[in-house]
Structure 1
Amino acid sequence: MFRRVMIAACAVGVLAPGLLSVGACAPITSYSGFQTIDADPAKDVKVGGDTKSTVRAKLGSPSATSTFDPNVWFYMNQVKERVAFERPKVVARHVTAISFDKESEQVTAVNNYTLKDGRVIAYNEHETPTRGRELTILEQILGTVGRGSMLPNEDEGVPGTRPGDRR
């Protein structure tokens, strides 16, 4: 009987801290970008009815404008969650693209994009080689020894010296 109680106590002692530590890891949520407090770009902006000035009055300044066409505004936000020491994961992303007509400045299109609409871009991991040779740590530390002097310069016209500074 005593042996069973000891085995059960040891099992609870081993498993309980692990269960408590897993339950204590609540995700840390962070919000960034355009915060929809009073306005929702997808619902508040009407195609053909709003202009740049009314959109700016309703939503504020855009998060970004298009690089190639200044008549496209973007309102973006995203939500990230991080658990303990893990990398943050993007849970939600919303991008609203509002297009304007060049002459009348009226809204021509309102497009909504989410995290599902995103694409993974494969970055090129190659490095561009540079000329010259790489110095070791010892060469970097001792590289300036003997190249200058600790004594002040005798020349008055040398940059970095003050007139009348003689020691």
Structure 2
Amino acid sequence: MRRPAIKLHRLFPLLLLPALAGCAIFSARPHYRGNAVSAHELKQLRPGVSTKADARALLGSPTLRETFNDDDWLYVSQITKRRIARTQGVIRQHVVVLQFNQQGVLQSIHGIDKKNAVMVAMAGGHTPAPGGRASLFQQLVGGVGHYNPGLGAGQPGGFGGGSPGYGGGNAGGFSGF
């Protein structure tokens, strides 16, 4: 009796399936960052009635306060996930802004999603730093003549190894030479 020939091209998907299923184990999990505020919590705050103390007791401290107006509190939450080359990609972002008057009473509540965000380009160029460029000669001989007072005499593995006459009890290295 003759066995039927096994066609490898038909077995390939079956062999590949377990390997692909194992990749799910290594996929990046999402990271939850910030202070997420639920709609239920926001319903408990009432503009014109609630105060900063009420908001802090209910929602916790704000993620940040606006730079030029300390009475505007921002609660920022993000869900990020690792992407190619281990960079973090933002999957979802939500910002809740609570605006208070000078007496600390809540005036308004509004939210900002990622789609409403304003992308800000970073300024090109660089800030000059003094002494930032060394010539090849400076790089080669720049450390000659410098020593570290923490290394040397009186230290394990230093000059003299702690024996008298070779700087054993002196701090600073090169005594005895």
Aligned residue identity for 1:146: G
Listed as ranges, the matches of 1:80-95 within 5 Å are 80-83=80-83, 85-95=85-95
Contact 1:52 1:105 in 2 (8 A): yes
Give 1:86 shift. 4.5
Rounded Cα–Cα distance in structure 1 between residues aligned with 2:77 and 2:109: 16
Summarize the Cα distance change of 1:121–1:133 in structure 2 as closer, same or farther, 3 Å threshold: closer
**Identical counterparts, % of pairs:** 22
Aligned residue identity for 2:27: A
Runs of 4+ in 1 over 6 A off after TM superposition: 148-152
Rounded Cα–Cα distance in structure 1 between residues aligned with 2:9 and 2:124: 54
C-alpha RMSD of matched pairs (Å): 3.6
Rounded Cα–Cα distance in structure 2 between residues aligned with 1:49 and 1:85: 49
Once the two structures are superposed, residues 131-150 of structure 1 have per-residue CA deviations (whole angstroms, 9 ceiling, x without a partner) of 55622577435312136799
Once the two structures are superposed, residues 3-47 of structure 1 have per-residue CA deviations (whole angstroms, 9 ceiling, x without a partner) of x623434x347744663455445341111111448963x322211
Contact 2:37 2:96 in 1 (8 A): no
**Unmatched tracts of structure 1, length 5 or more:** 153-160
Aligned residue identity for 2:45: V
**Unmatched tracts of structure 2, length 5 or more:** 154-169
Rounded Cα–Cα distance in structure 1 between residues aligned with 2:14 and 2:32: 39
Once the two structures are superposed, residues 119-166 of structure 1 have per-residue CA deviations (whole angstroms, 9 ceiling, x without a partner) of 2111122123445562257743531213679999xxxxxxxx98xxx7
Summarize the Cα distance change of 1:38–1:147 in structure 2 as closer, same or farther, 3 Å threshold: same
How many corresponding residue pairs?
152
SS class of match (1:127): coil
Contact 1:31 1:78 in 2 (8 A): yes
Listed as ranges, the matches of 1:43-82 within 5 Å are 43-82=43-82
Aligned residue identity for 1:29: P
Give the TM-score, by structure 1 length: 0.69
Contact 2:76 2:96 in 1 (8 A): yes
Q: Does 1:135 align with 2:134?
A: yes
Higher relative contact order (CA 8 A, sep 6+): 1
Rounded Cα–Cα distance in structure 1 between residues aligned with 2:136 and 2:93: 44
**Structure-1 residue corresponding to 2:165:** none
Rounded Cα–Cα distance in structure 2 between residues aligned with 1:143 and 1:99: 56
SS class of match (1:28): coil
